[in-house]
Amino acid sequence: MNVTDKKMQAYLEAHPFLQETAELQLAMSAAIQKSVGPMEFPEDNEVKKLTQDGVPLLQSKDLQDRVVAALQPQISAVLAELLPIACPQPMQEALQVWAEWTEKQSMDKQAELIGLLLRQEDEKLTALMQAEQLPEQLVRTVLWQLVEALVPARLKAYDFWQDAGWAKNYCPICGRQPVLAHLRKEKEGRARFLLCDGCHAEWPFARVGCVYCGNEDLTQMHILEPEGQTAMRMDVCGKCQSYIKTYNEEGTESVYLQDWATIHLDLLAEEKGLRKNGSRLLAN
């Protein structure tokens, strides 16, 4: 997605309250892509072999070390790109705090932070950020955006994972829970795919049931279709009170497969006491 995306422009004209969020998101991803590009990953067959037993790619020690080594030296440059972006005061201050911390920290400490994020050792990660007085949500969201920028597009594609036979309820690349779902038209009817908010990979999953708790009792599943919304609905699980926003059309992926583009649906779900999962802002 980029600023010139016509579908996104049309969507924002129809949803003007998202304009500010959109500008910030677009500016951040442009700044990040300036500093970090795709890293060399193993060949396709090797990737399939590495993940065949259900272990996400970035949970292998070797790749994890390489991602840390690729990211750690870039953090200062990324923060320097992010600092001039027009953003709310608290975010500006949080960026400043992180930039100052990065300047005076040892490489080891910075590597430790990225390692904990990749391994999703959430308690340790939170403890480290509290001890260092780092702004946790900002650090999490920017680091995941960096991971997203490192992963080559071919490995984020749903058909790659369809072919590899990955059908877990966690991301084949980073291991996070999904944040969004997409019902695609396939030859034999509609098939469901899940999207990761960490690295933005997409992979196939069972068509029905709760993607978070595994509930398959359909009497406990229901669909919320907010008024005026046809492209995006919410699949709600009565057992674990989670929901997943599900895009059920084709052609507007550049809009609807961005979690922030339907943040108003999350607010609606929150009012109903439902739980959101998989957001890169949060522990997994």
Of residues 76-135, which lie at the interface with Zn ion (CB under 5 A)?
none
Among 198, 204, 209, 278, binds Zn ion (CB under 5 A): 198
String of DSSP letters for 19-60: HHHHHHHHHHHHHHHHH--PPP---HHHHHHHHTTS--GGGS
Instruction: Decide whether 129 or 150 has the Cβ nearer to Zn ion.
Output: 150
Residues of span 175-194 touching Zn ion by CB under 5 A: 176
Report the residue from 213, 224, 263, 274 that binds Zn ion according to the rule CB under 5 A.
213
Long-range contacts of 113-117, Cβ-Cβ distance < 8 Å, separation of 24 or more: 113/139, 113/143, 114/67, 114/68, 114/71, 114/72, 114/143, 115/64, 115/68, 117/143, 117/144
Q: Is 199 in the site for Zn ion (CB under 5 A)?
A: yes
According to the binding rule CB under 5 A, does residue 210 interact with Zn ion?
yes
* Residues that contact Zn ion, how many (by CB under 5 A): 15
| Region from 9-17, 45-53, 174-182, 255-263 binding Zn ion, contact rule CB under 5 A | 174-182
* 137 is an interface residue for Zn ion by CB under 5 A: no
Residue 219, amino acid: T
Q: Does 274 bind Zn ion (CB under 5 A)?
A: no
* 174 in contact with Zn ion (CB under 5 A): yes
Interface pick for Zn ion out of 92, 162, 169, 215 (rule CB under 5 A): 215
Q: Where are the alpha helices (DSSP H) in the chain?
A: 6-14, 19-35, 44-51, 61-71, 75-82, 89-104, 107-119, 122-131, 136-150, 158-164, 253-256, 263-271
The reply to whether 173 sits near Zn ion by the rule CB under 5 A is yes
Q: How far is the CB of 208 from Zn ion (least distance, A)?
A: 12
Q: Contact between 206 and Zn ion (CB under 5 A)?
A: no
Please say which residue, 176 or 192, places its beta carbon nearer to Zn ion: 176
> Rounded to whole angstroms, how far apart are CA atoms 119 and 65?
11
Q: Token digits for 97?
A: 């705090």
CB-CB neighbours of 4 under 10 Å: 7
- For binding to Zn ion (CB under 5 A), which residues are involved? 171, 173-174, 176, 196, 198-199, 201, 210, 212-213, 215, 237, 239-240
